[in-house]
Amino acid sequence: MIKIPYLKAFSLGLLTLSFACSSDDTATKNEDGFKLIPQDEIVPLIQPSGFYIANEDWFGHDGSNGTLNFIDKNYKPFYRVFREANPGKRFGVTTQSATTYGDYYYFVSKQGNRLVVTDKDLKEVKSLTDIGGDGRAFVGATASKGYISTSGGISIFNINTLEVEGSIAGIATETGNMAVANGLLFAVTNKKELHIIDVETDKLLISLQDNYTQLTLDNNGILWLGHDKEIKRLDTKTIDKNDLGNINMTSYDLGISSIKGQWGAWNAGSMTVSNDGEFVYWNSNGGSWNGGNKIAQLNTSTGVVNPEFYDLGHDSTEVKLAFYGSSMRIDPHTDNLVLTIKREKFGSAGSYNWVRIINQQGGIIQDIFLRGGTEESSSYNPDGGYFWFPSQVLFEDNNAPQIFTNQVILKSNKEFAIALDQFLIDQDSPWELIEKTASNLSNDLGTVRIENREFTENGKTVTKESLVFTTNTKIGKAHFTLEALSNGKVAKKDIEVWVRE
């Protein structure tokens, strides 16, 4: 057992706190006969094996269905991996978005098999043709619920039954990008609205009528909104459901750049944000039908916009390059930008595709030429390329949240705060986006709640999400339940609490 003198005293004075965490004390008991329970070993990090690219594929050819390619960690491409894992099965027509949430991948297409759900081995577990309209995107919301944006609004998806169960009342127009944070669903529409929906009730709380085009969520729960000639910053933690007339946003002027909605032939849009929220990137000269060849960057600390942060340039034969599909995404594991590009213009140019990985200084890490050509495509591309028409990059989420603490020892009639990172970890998901809940102490020994509290670490004051225990005059053994929801994966544990004099 290791005693930790925690760092912040509250109104009832400093409390000595103990975690039982010796590796060989499973038979050890304290002076009152309670067994000391060690902490669990942290499950080793599972590194990503690569990333996926969902493709619209060659419309009118090869069955007219979308496909999925995989780029491994050594930058080797593998083609049509969904079809390989599911002989005879297909995505829908014009696959536009791909999402990982919980135990599944979700692939959304405009027509046909509009939603295909697979396990993490890409084995199909569900395929739906009717999702309430032509498909746009999927976002997870709770352990049992997700949402699908469509040409006709937002459908509610039951993750347990893998069925659509109604739609959001009051939204009946084409809806695109969505994000969930702090119990709220945010969605933009082709009418340039921003809808805010209560995840618990599926009720539309407010529709902001303005010039919203795209959105992206950073790891701190900050929503970044494309607003044509502006970017708006919205801290989702500040939204009060009971005071929706007072939603405060910070605006950044984009100067000569702009962020367009991708409604001409909808795709998921290029707007993406670095893992630390310091930089926002987007396709700076593309139109509502895609295209463009330059990346703009907003420094969110200084407000400075660089409209020509990166130029795609030309291929080795001096043919100009252009973006296709959603164009770019930040890799959550490396913070690099992953770009989907092709030769500019139409015709055979569509069969020359690359994935380019650049760092946040614009340096090229890797160029990957995509082949996978067929007999039919070879007449257009003698180099083995194919008409992939890439739509969106999909990254792996291999690690689940883990609650590793099993026991807390407190003194009676005291209040004490313990940082939640002493209990919980998810090694590849952002801390601020993990939903945490704690139940009250059993046996009427006090209460436990989650609050932000200040601690001193390395001589600096830091604010952390914390478990705040308030014990009464009773002593004895109790427990509380800690639960974490992280990108659809759930960890739940009853943690023993020993209250002593």
pLDDT tens column, 175-199: 999 999 999 999 999 999 999 999 9
For residue range 448-460, list pLDDT tens digits in order: 999 999 999 999 9
Query: What residue spans in the chain does CATH classification 2.130.10.10 cover?
Result: 50-274+372-395
Identify the pLDDT of residue 224: 98
Q: What is the pLDDT of residues 196-250, one digit of tens each?
A: 999 999 999 999 999 999 999 999 999 999 998 999 999 999 999 988 888 999 9
Residue 18 has pLDDT above 60, yes or no: no
Fold for domain 50-274+372-395? Methylamine Dehydrogenase; Chain H (2.130.10)
> Three-class SS of residue 83?
helix
pLDDT above 90 for 279: yes
Q: pLDDT of 121-174, one tens digit each? A: 999 999 999 999 999 999 999 999 999 999 999 999 999 999 999 999 999 999
Task: Give SS3 for 132.
Answer: coil
Residue 386 CA to residue 257 CA, distance in Å, equals: 32
| pLDDT score at 6 | 34
User: Residue 81 belongs to what H/E stretch?
Assistant: helix 81-85
% of the chain exceeding 70 in pLDDT: 93
To the nearest whole number, what is the mean pLDDT of the chain? Answer: 92
Confidence grade of residue 447 (pLDDT, cut at 50, 70, 90):
very high
Which pLDDT does position 5 carry in this prediction?
Answer: 32
| Cβ proximity of 277 and 218 under 8 Å | yes
Ranges in the chain annotated CATH 2.60.40.10: 2-44+403-500
Cβ-defined contacts of 18-23 (< 8 Å, 24+): 18/408, 18/409, 19/405, 19/407, 19/408, 19/409, 19/422, 20/406, 20/407, 20/409, 21/405
**DSSP letter assigned to residue 172:** -
Chain centre distance of CA 197: 18
Dihedral-angle region of residue 172 (phi above 0 means left; psi in -120 to 50 means alpha; beta otherwise): alpha
**Continuous segment of H or E residues that includes residue 84:** helix 81-85
pLDDT over 50 (residue 2): no
CATH numeric code, 2-44+403-500: 2.60.40.10
